[in-house]
Amino acid sequence: MNFFSRSKSLTRGVLFSMNLLAGLALTAQLAQAEVVPVNIHAVENTVEVDNKGTQYASWNFDGTIPGPVVRVKEGDVVDFTLINDKTNQKSHSMDFHAAIVDVLNEFSPVKPGESKHYKFEAKYPGVFMYHCGAESMAEHIARGMFGIIIVDPKQGYNEAYPRPDREYVLVQSQLFPNASDHHALMENTGWTNALINGKVFHYDPVHDPNATLALQAKPGERVRLYFVNANINMPVALHPIAGIWERVYPNGNPKNVLYGMATYNVAVSEASTFDIVSPADHATNNAIVDHTMGAAHRGAITVLMNTPDADPEAGKGTHILLR
Ligand SMILES: [Cu+2]
End of a domain among 119, 152, 185? 152
Question: How far, CA to CA in Å, does 119 sit from each of 33, 65, 198, 231, 255?
Answer: 14, 24, 28, 27, 25
pLDDT tens digits, one per residue of 160-195: 999 999 999 999 999 999 999 999 999 999 999 999
Residue 187 lies in a domain: yes
Q: Which stretch of DSSP H or E encloses residue 23?
A: helix 8-27
pLDDT value of residue 247: 98
Distance (angstroms) between ligand 1 centre and the Cα of 193 equals 21
> Ligand 1 centre from 145 Cα, in Å?
6
What residues make up the domain containing 41? Answer: 8-152
Q: Kindly state whether residues 121 and 245 are assigned to the same domain.
A: no
Strand order in the sheet with 126-131: 70-73, 146-152, 126-131, 95-96
State in Å: Cα 210 to ligand 1 middle: 30
pLDDT at 16 > cutoff 80: no
Residue 44 belongs to a domain: yes
The mean predicted confidence, pLDDT, of the chain is 93
Whole-number Å distance, alpha carbon 42 to ligand 1 midpoint, is 7
Going from the Cα of 160 to the center of ligand 1, the distance in angstroms, rounded, reads 38
pLDDT level of residue 4 (50, 70, 90 thresholds): very low
20 in the same domain as 147: yes
Asked if residue 213 lies in contact with residue 203, where contact means CB atoms within 8 angstroms, the answer is yes
What pLDDT is attached to residue 11? 45
User: What was the pLDDT predicted at 318?
Assistant: 87
| One domain, residues 35 and 103 | yes
Question: Does a structural domain hold residue 157?
Answer: no
Taking residues 84-94, what's their average pLDDT?
Answer: 97
Measure 92 CA to ligand 1 centroid, in angstroms.
4
pLDDT recorded at residue 30? 55
End-to-end CA distance of the chain: 28
**What pLDDT does 32 receive?**
84
B/e letters for 28-67, b = 16+ CB within 10 Å, e = fewer, are eeebebbebbbbbbbbbeebebbbeeeebebbbbbbbbbb
177 lies in the same domain as 259? yes
Q: Determine the distance separating the centroid of ligand 1 and the alpha carbon of 237, expressed in angstroms.
A: 27
Q: What is the pLDDT of residue 297?
A: 98
User: How far is the CA of 265 from the CAs of 55, 115, 137, 234, 291, in angstroms?
Assistant: 31, 36, 23, 10, 10
How far, in Å, from the CA of 172 to the mean position of ligand 1?
Answer: 18
In a domain, 57, yes or no: yes
pLDDT of 315 above 70: yes
Q: For the chain, what is the domain count?
A: 2
131 in the same domain as 17: yes
Instruction: Return the closest-CA partner of residue 170 out of 15, 61, 323, 321.
Output: 321
Q: How many whole angstroms separate alpha carbon 37 and alpha carbon 291?
A: 38
pLDDT reading at 21 higher than 90: no
Alpha-carbon distances of 179 from 62, 144, 184, 199, rounded to whole Å: 20, 10, 8, 16
pLDDT score for 316 = 97
206 lies in the same domain as 272:
yes
Distance from residue 312's CA to the centre of ligand 1 (Å) = 37
Residues 244 and 176 in one domain: yes
Residue 141: inside a domain: yes
* CA 68 to ligand 1 center in whole angstroms: 15
CA of 171 to the centre of ligand 1 (A): 18
Closest CA to 321 of 163, 202, 230: 202
Q: Are 25 and 67 in the same domain?
A: yes
3-state secondary structure of 135: coil
C-alpha 274/C-alpha 224 separation (Å) is: 6
pLDDT in tens, 237-261: 999 999 999 999 999 999 999 999 9
The CA radius of gyration of the chain, in Å to the nearest whole number, is 19
Predicted confidence at residue 250, as pLDDT, reads 98
For residue 134, the CA-to-ligand 1 centroid distance in Å is 5
Q: Is residue 30 part of a domain?
A: yes
Residue 148 and residue 13 share a domain: yes
pLDDT on residue 100: 97
Q: Is residue 3 part of a domain?
A: no
Could you tell me the distance, in angstroms and rounded to a whole number, from the CA of residue 61 to the centre of ligand 1? 9
- Confidence bin at 20 (pLDDT 50/70/90): low
Q: How many A from CA of 136 to the centre of ligand 1?
A: 8
109 & 75 share domain: yes
pLDDT band at residue 10 under the 50/70/90 scheme: very low
Decide if 85 is inside a domain: yes
pLDDT (tens digit, 9 = 90+) per residue, 114-148?
999 999 999 999 999 999 999 999 999 999 999 99
> Residue 280 carries which DSSP code?
S
Are residues 278 and 232 both part of a single domain? yes
Q: Cβ neighbours of residue 131 under 8 Å, at least 6 residues apart?
A: 94, 95, 137, 140, 141, 145, 146, 147, 230, 269
> What is the domain-level CATH number for residue 131?
2.60.40.420
Listed residues: CB within 5 A of ion ligand 1? 92, 132, 134, 140, 145
CA of 128 to the centre of ligand 1 (A): 18
- Render pLDDT for 148-157 as a digit per residue (tens, 0 to 9): 999 999 999 9
The answer to whether residues 15 and 119 belong to one domain is: yes
The CA distance from 138 to 180, in Å, is 9
**What is the 116 CA–ligand 1 centroid distance (Å)?**
13
